Amino acid sequence: MSRTKPEPVQVVKQRRDALLKSLVDHIPYIQFMGISFERRGDELTALLPFRDDLIGNPMLPALHGGVTAGLLEITAIVGLAWSNQWNDMESGDRSSDAPHGEAFPRMPKTIDFTIDYLRSGLPRDAYARALVTRSGRRYASVRAEAWQDNRARPFAQAHGHFLMPQSDD
């Protein structure tokens, strides 16, 4: 019995980076907010660089609640889509690969999204990560948290439920 030769690591990394770029580049709100994603293996971290126009209360100053909510929801959606695409890539299903944006993967749709504002977001860069707590064929549940200087001290967290895209949609 002969085994197929594994792909070079650089090729795998390029394919994963192309898929992430395809996910992010097709959502205009991500560009509007200036959010970027950093990939380390199968883990994504969202980065929201600070800008003055993100301040909601200039007296404190504090990040606008809508900016915080947008960061958390985008992180949850991209994290969920990435998780599903990652599982397909690791299982050898190349139909989900989207090099150079050729076949944009279908995105989950928000059913509900609840945010807990734990403290004011300060006027500095913010980070967020999502954890997929359940992902089935039709429905998924995701938890997301946002922090600034110390990951152990999140300033907001969220929990959302999403309708998964169907292959026959």
DSSP 11-39: HHHHHHHHHHHHHHHT-HHHHHHT-EEEE
Expressed as residue numbers, the domain containing 56 is 9-163
Q: 56, 67 in Cβ contact below 8 A?
A: yes
The answer as to whether 80 is a domain residue is yes
Q: What is the pLDDT of residue 154?
A: 98
Number of domains present in the structure of the chain = 1
pLDDT band at 4 (very low <50, low <70, confident <90, very high): confident
Closest CA to 62 of 119, 108, 112: 119
Half-sphere exposure of 37 (CA within 13 A, CB side): 30
Q: Is residue 168 in some structural domain?
A: no
pLDDT digits (tens, 9 = 90+) for 82-125: 888 776 666 555 544 444 444 567 789 999 999 999 999 999 99
Look up residue 93 and give its two tokens: 């299903």
How much is the pTM?
0.84
> Which region among 47-56, 63-72, 80-89 has the lowest average model confidence (pLDDT)?
80-89
| CATH number of the domain enclosing 75 | 3.10.129.10
